[in-house]
Amino acid sequence: MLIKSLVKTKENLTTLQEDTTLAEALEILEESDFRCVPVLDNTGQIFRGNIYKMHIYRHKSRGGDMSLPVTNLLKNSTKFISVNAAFFNIFFSIKDLPYIAVLDEQSRFYGILTHTKLLSMLAEGWNIHAGSYVLTVTTRDERGSLVSMAKAITKYTPIANCISLDLQEPNVVRRILFTLPAGVSEALLQKIVHNLERKGFEVPEIENLHAKL
């Protein structure tokens, strides 16, 4: 997966060098209003970790030495991905972070990928703005069921997007979410739902994407 188009590059970021003091870092964080920023080595090439405003405040409130370098309070030093990382690696690496550091092919700091940018990409992939309805269709995970669902829908309209949920547990009902393209009328929607139910599938939920815009 090419993520370069989603990355905020180093040139457009506030970063700190590893010899920046905690007092200096806190001043920069307060002025920028960022909760944390990346810390690089003194060459500006190697990612050392993130420094969080809350950790500096905690250190200061306990009477800690504010002249110490930021390396004393670094977090997430091993939380980074390659610019060529696969989507699933990215998704699970960033899960609990406001952003994740991105390294280039030579393991140099390239920039960051934010949680917000990743969610925006997922929203685009779901075709929320170009779709009409999202159908939640359930199945017992029998072989060929996804093909049968798709055929029941594409008899009337192309499929804009498809996402499968509930993959962690074996032998459970699967939920397949189908996004229908723009232009699908309510009358056509009812025909699609009827065809799915006629083939033995349940459609427990229908989301009208137009109502969300």
Range in 22-31, 80-89, 124-133 with the lowest mean pLDDT = 124-133
CA distance 196 to 213: 27
The mean per-residue pLDDT over the stretch 16-44 comes to 96
Cα–Cα distance for residue pair 73/205, rounded to 1 Å: 47
Q: Kindly state the percentage of the chain with pLDDT values over 70.
A: 90
Asked if 161 and 107 sit in the same domain, the reply is no
Say if residue 176 is in the same domain as residue 197.
yes
Same domain, 141 and 170: yes
Judge if 183 and 88 occupy the same domain.
no
Query: Which residues, other chains included, contact 47 with Cβ-Cβ below 8 Å and sequence gap of 6+?
Result: 38, 39, 40, 77, 80, 101, 103, 109
> Has this prediction a pTM greater than 0.75?
no
Q: Tokens at residue 133, please?
A: 């309805």
Q: How confident is the model at residue 104 (pLDDT cuts 50, 70, 90)?
A: very high
* Total tally of structural domains belonging to the chain: 2
Look up the CATH number of the domain holding residue 72.
Answer: 3.10.580.10
Distance CA 126, CA 134 (A): 9
The pLDDT assigned to 172 comes to 67
**Rounded Cα distance, 9 and 200, in Å:** 50
Residue 38 to residue 75: CA distance in whole angstroms: 10
**Residues of the domain holding 35:** 4-121
Which one has a higher pLDDT value, 130 or 92? 92
Report d(CA 6, CA 12) in Å as an integer. Answer: 13
If you average pLDDT over residues 5-10, what whole number do you get? 91
Region of 156 on the Ramachandran plot (φ > 0 left; ψ -120 to 50 alpha; else beta): alpha
Higher per-residue pLDDT: 29 or 122: 29
Query: Quick one: 12 and 114 in the same domain?
Result: yes
pLDDT of residue 184: 94
Instruction: Please report the pLDDT score of residue 36 as a whole number.
Output: 96
CA distances from 95 to 34, 45, 113, 118 (A): 19, 25, 12, 10
Last residue in a domain, options 69, 90, 121 = 121
Same domain, 117 and 165: no
Amino acid at 64: G
Residue 20 sits in the same domain as residue 77: yes
Nearest 5 degrees, angle CA 93-CA 99-CA 103? 70
